Amino acid sequence: MSIKKKLIFILAVMSLLLFLIAGYLLWNVVQASREMERIGRDIDYLHDMGGLRVLSYNQSHLLMHYFYFYEDRVLQELFAADNDINGLISKLRDEGAAGRNAAVAQPGLREDQRDREHLRLIENEYKQIAERVRHAIDLRKEGKPERALKFITGTVDQQIDEVFLKDVDDAINDKNDELMAAYDRILMHMGALPRVGGSRLQLIQGTRYSIQYYLAVDRLSLALHRELNEIIQYIATGHMTDLAGYREAGADIERALQECVTIIRTQEAIGMEGKQGQEGEVNDLRQEYHKLSALMQQAYKLKRAGRDYEAFQLTDSGLKHAADNLVLPKLERIMVNSRAEIMLDHRILMRSIYISGSLSVFVIAAVAIVLLVVVYRLIMRMMRAIHALDRGAEIIGSGDLDHRIAVYSSDELGELAGSFNKMAAYLKDSNDDLRSFIFSLSHDLRTPLVNIKGFSEELITGISELGPILEKYLEGFPAEEQRRYGDVLKKEIPDALKYIGSSINQMDKLINAVLALSRIGHRELKPERIDMDLVVRSALESFAHRIAHDKVSVTIGPLPVVIADRLVMEQCINNLIDNAIKYLDPSRPGTVELSAEWVDEETVFRVRDNGRGIAEHDLPKIFGLFRRAGQQDVPGEGLGLAYVKALVKRQGGRIWCESAFGIGTTFWFTVPDRAPANRSTVG
């Protein structure tokens, strides 16, 4: 993977992490909002359940009144209370307070299943109570008041107190636990939002206390209705068990009043405003309750004194009037205000959640965008610098040692570019020194070689002229000596001089080859569009005689059009074809294959033969100067492949070889898809 791809990958990972963080914050906002919506439904559920309990106590009061006074008006009120209870149960069922509201409910939650189970039990219990109440009314209409009263105070009241109201209390208690757990989850979700401060957490805590206050008021209402119900039943029956329930309810009322005051003062302690008025309302209610309690005590004493009718008259008039017009309205107003306060706190908290979440997501998105832009520009700047270094290395590697990289910064990349330019300058100086040395050496070597060659030719001429003279001089010598001296003059000395001349010519060729190799970087390349099929076929024409003589089979695969220097391509192809034909195995028909393919933004040329092959230990040295591998039975100086390698690198390409001894050899070389178009002249 390239550096650019790695940097882009890192940028993508950073972007993903930022968006995951934003998504996580948004998810917490959504979850907190859902919890708030659920809490709102649960508060409605608590209100309806409390109303169900109050209606049940009212129904009990009306039953006792009806069985004492047998008034049609009270019977109509009794039927109206029954309709209210059934309507409230239907409301709980139809509005989906148990988790079946399709708009906001979360199906499958354990709490929803529990709510449905509570509602099913309450509905079934009330159906049984309603049937028994109708049976008691029928007994009263049939003129059996004592039997009806006994049925009411025994079977019906017992089922209401021990079963129906217990199921309602269980539902309220479970819902209270759910509410507290929901607020814990809200605190958890809000804690994930970075802008949540102490004031918002204080609001969450204050809202929890508001619900606890509402539930305390609800318990106060429950205890008050229970106390009224118990005193009425005591006055109606005189049973001491009812008196014990009455006294227990009174103690519950005092505890609930004190709990309300404690919660209010706790809210004041954490900084919630407007609680002084609530404490005043509770104190007013306490005073009115004490007045009501005094009336209940008075009715109780009348009952104890045996003045039953006066006790019931006081209960039906003064006691009921004080409860219905003074105490219960104040209690209802406190509950309404408490519920309104909870709804207000919820709206404020919901708005705070949305603002906090939206602002957090917006800030993170803005930071992410700015960060991505900055990082992207930094990556692009780094990539331009790296690309300039890569391009510079390619140009310098191809021989243009005058090339320099522009330095635009003083950071690490700028320092790297400066070091690169120093390296290029050092290479240029070294290359110039080496080229000067080669030129000087070739000149210094060529001068004595020319002298040696000239004197050798003079010696050959002198020997040829001296031969007839020496022959006359040797006529007096013995035949064996004449033959021996004749061989020296006519063969050994001329052969030695010819060998000296041949070695001089070979040395001259090597010097010329080294000079040609050193001049490769001197020539400016001229990239152009080249049809390589025409280049290969033109090269094969120059080897036509050798191909025909050696019966070589040549195969040409599809060859592309490339952008390169024509002279370089021609010399590379000629040298590789010459090398392939030169080292064919004479023991089998020779084959040479030429083809090309485009791989990874470069064209790869292939020249394959089935010749002698190269031993594995000779492969590393075949591209070296004056290095030849295998049997030395063909002419050559060991410079051809070194020359080809220099030409290929001059264009920014690569060359390599694979071979199997006795099987054949394959040479590959590449031409970049975009060959450098501007090669500066060196020197």
Instruction: Give, in order, the Cα–Cα distances in Å from 533 to each of 33, 538, 561.
Output: 73, 9, 8
CATH assignment of the domain containing 555: 3.30.565.10
Per-residue three-class SS string for 302-351: HHHCCCHHHHHHHHHHHHHHHHHHHHHHHHHHHHHHHHHHHHHHHHHHHH
User: Could you tell me if 575 and 626 lie in one domain?
Assistant: yes
Dihedral in degrees, nearest 10, Cα atoms 245, 246, 252, 255: -140
Q: What percentage of the chain has pLDDT greater than the value 90?
A: 8
Task: Give Dmax over CA atoms of the chain in angstroms.
Answer: 192
- pLDDT tens per residue, range 432-457: 766 666 666 666 666 777 777 777 77
Pairwise pLDDT comparison (183 vs 243), residue with the higher score: 183
540 Cβ contact partners less than 8 Å away, ≥ 6 residues apart: 547, 554, 577
Compute how many other C-beta atoms are within 10 angstroms of the C-beta atom of residue 649: 18
Residue 97 has pLDDT above 60, yes or no: no
Residue 396 lies inside a defined structural domain of this protein: no
Same domain, yes or no: 571 and 471: no
pLDDT tens digits along 520-568: 555 677 889 999 999 999 989 888 888 888 889 999 999 999 999 898 8
- Both 512 and 579 in a single domain? no
My answer on whether 142 and 245 are in the same domain is yes
Distances (CA, A) of 584 to 531, 554, 662: 28, 12, 10
In a domain, 637, yes or no: yes
Q: What is the DSSP pairing of strand 553-556 with strand 591-599?
A: parallel
Using pLDDT thresholds of 50, 70 and 90, give the confidence band for residue 27. Answer: confident
Judgement on whether residues 83 and 220 belong to the same structural domain of the protein = yes
SS3 608: strand
Band of the pLDDT at 107, cuts 50, 70, 90?
Answer: very low
Give the sheet arrangement for strand 655-660, strand by strand. Answer: 553-556, 591-599, 602-609, 664-672, 655-660
* DSSP structural state of residue 672: E
In a domain, 292, yes or no: yes
155 shares a domain with 303? yes
CA dist list (Å): 586 to 160, 370, 411, 610: 118, 72, 63, 11
Given 484, 518, 552, the domain boundary residue is 518
Q: What angle do CA 158, 160, 161 make, to 5 degrees?
A: 65
Segments in 142-197 forming alpha helices (H): 145-151, 157-159, 165-191
Q: What is the pLDDT of residue 130?
A: 85
Confidence band, pLDDT 50/70/90 cuts, at residue 166: confident
Q: The tokens of 66 are what?
A: 């009806």
Band (631; pLDDT cuts 50, 70, 90): low
> Is residue 360 in some structural domain?
yes
φ/ψ of residue 180, rounded to 5: -65, -40
Number of domains in the chain: 3
470 plus 552 within the same structural domain: no
Range of the domain at 625: 527-672
Residues 507 and 564 in one domain: no
Residue 261 domain-assigned (yes or no)? yes
| DSSP secondary structure letter of residue 621 | G
Examine the fold and report which residue of 369, 404, 438 is the final residue of a domain before the chain moves on. Answer: 369
Q: Which residues contact 649 (CB under 8 A, 6 or more apart)?
A: 397, 398, 399, 655
Q: How far apart are CA 213 and CA 206, in angstroms?
A: 10
- Same domain? For 52 and 188 the reply is yes
Q: What is the pLDDT of residue 537?
A: 92
Whether residue 361 is found in the same domain as residue 416: no
- Do 417 and 312 lie in a common domain? no
pLDDT greater than 80 at residue 212: yes
Q: For 262-313, write each residue's pLDDT tens digit.
A: 888 888 887 776 566 788 888 888 898 898 888 888 888 888 888 877 887 7
Q: Is the pLDDT of residue 635 over 90?
A: no
pLDDT for 556 equals 92
631 and 567 share a domain? yes
* pLDDT winner (highest mean) among 182-186, 308-312, 369-373, 580-584: 580-584
Whole-number pLDDT of residue 109: 54
Identify the CA nearest to 488 among candidates 505, 502, 474.
Answer: 474
Residues 6+ away with beta carbon under 8 Å from 246: 227, 230, 231, 234, 296, 300
Residues 261, 213: Cα–Cα separation, whole Å: 9
Calpha distance 670→175 (Å, rounded): 78
The vertex-600 CA angle with 594 and 602, nearest 5°, equals 50
Q: For the residues 173-194, what does the mean pLDDT come to?
A: 75
Dist CA 512 CA 514 (whole Å)? 6
Whether residue 374 lies inside any domain: the answer is: no
The mean pLDDT of the chain is: 78
For residue 629, what pLDDT is reported? 60
Looking at 518, 551, 571, which one is the last position of a domain?
A: 518
Q: How far apart are CA 51 and CA 328, in angstroms?
A: 13
Domain assignment present for 232: yes
Tokens of 445: 């070597």
pLDDT at 462 over 90: no
Render pLDDT for 57-92 as a digit per residue (tens, 0 to 9): 777 777 777 776 667 777 888 888 888 888 888 888
Note whether residue 568 is domain-resident. Answer: yes
H helix runs in 238-327, sequence order: 240-269, 275-304, 308-314, 320-322
Of the candidates 215, 242, 223, 187, the residue with the CA atom closest to the CA atom of residue 339: 215
Beta bridge partners of 599: 602
- Radius of gyration for the alpha carbons in the chain, expressed in angstroms and rounded: 56
